[in-house]
A and B are shown apart, each in its own frame.
Chain A
């Protein structure tokens, strides 16, 4: 059974204080790992897809990296508008269903 565990559950940062969110996964062969951002009262919005170990993708202050067992979402010099819940999901090589982690709630204070 595919499993995705995100840590920490919640993270409070001061504006400008860089940090990383972790997504550990167990899957029978990885087809893709996805990161989403979810604002309060809204549906998750797609950020990145990573396909293989060593791959990195960037978008503004966010950078996602992937190893064979985990993915990190690095946030550099965060701003209050980066406050949201970040969700990680995996798709196995055999199949198309995504399994989601529980998310990390990020709060950035000015």
Chain B
């Protein structure tokens, strides 16, 4: 039972480079999310998806893009990396049960440094 799997765990990018952070879940959850976590700042929502083919912006979407072609996968794309995107990125998934956002499960994170 893998839950939410994120790759890579660590990455160093140069300013202006691009990369894709991968996220896969095996719990058949409809809802998926991307967060960034900066030291002492809590979790900030970047993008989210309520199902395959449906995505929407969160609190801090600038500089990022997502796609959701399947229920399982929710990759996050960084275009033209900037130092401000240095952070730890978490993918999460969940389902609704009796209207409660149930089973919110996080991946182990990707630590990204932009130099």
Binding site for B on A (CB under 8 A): 9, 31-32, 34, 41-46, 49, 51, 87, 89, 91, 96-98, 100-103
Contact = CB atoms under 8 A, between A and B. Distances in A.
Given A45-B106, A96-B99, A102-B41, 14 more contacts: A31-B100, A31-B101, A32-B100, A34-B104, A41-B109, A46-B104, A49-B100, A49-B102, A87-B43, A89-B104, A96-B31, A97-B48, A100-B43, A103-B42
B99 A101 contact: no
A42 B41 CA distance: 16
A34 B104 CA distance: 10
Given A31-B100, A32-B100, A34-B104, A87 B42 contact: yes
Nearest to A105: B40
Given A9-B40, A87-B43, A97-B45, A32 B101 contact: yes
Given A42-B108, A44-B106, A97-B48, A91 B42 contact: no
| Chain B at the A interface: SS class | strand
A98 B42 contact: no
Contact of B42 (A51, A97, A102): A102
B115 interface: no
A102 B40 CA distance: 6
Nearest to A49: B100
A45 B92 CA distance: 11
